[in-house]
Amino acid sequence: MADVPLKLVDYRVLFLEYEERHYEDGVYYRRDLEPGTGVWMRGSDGKIASLWFTCPCGCGAIAAVTVNPAYGKAWAWNGSEDKPTTTPSILRTHGCKWHGWLTDGIFRGT
């Protein structure tokens, strides 16, 4: 599977363009956006809480990884917004079941 770079956009691109957003089987889809389109979301404390992104496989599903333990079970994160590395690997439990890694801002499927 090809490497997919994380492409950061304003959160409004991912979340507020309702006309382009579809909700199916408990998952939001944005099939109009490129795979790996992402947004860092902040919690009520102003700190980064999670990374939301369109699935690297191209299915269009919006997935998320929490990186701040204050907001639940969290992935370890290197603290970089532009070139994030999270561990362990990411597994989508719905839909496409994409499994891979986010390393230095690149999604790599297994």
- Nearest approach in angstroms of CB 54 to Zn ion is 8
Print burial letters for 47-75: b (CB count within 10 Å at least 16), e (below 16): ebbbbbbbbbbbbbbbbebbbbeebeeeb
CA distance linking residue 25 with residue 65, whole number of Å = 19
Question: Closest distance between Zn ion and the C-beta of residue 55, in Å?
Answer: 3
Q: Which one of 1-9, 10-18, 23-31, 59-67 is the stretch in contact with Zn ion (CB under 5 A)?
A: 59-67
Instruction: Map residues 3-42 to x or -, x wherever contact with Zn ion holds by CB under 5 A.
Output: ----------------------------------------
Q: Which residues bind Zn ion (CB under 5 A)?
A: 55, 57, 59, 96, 98
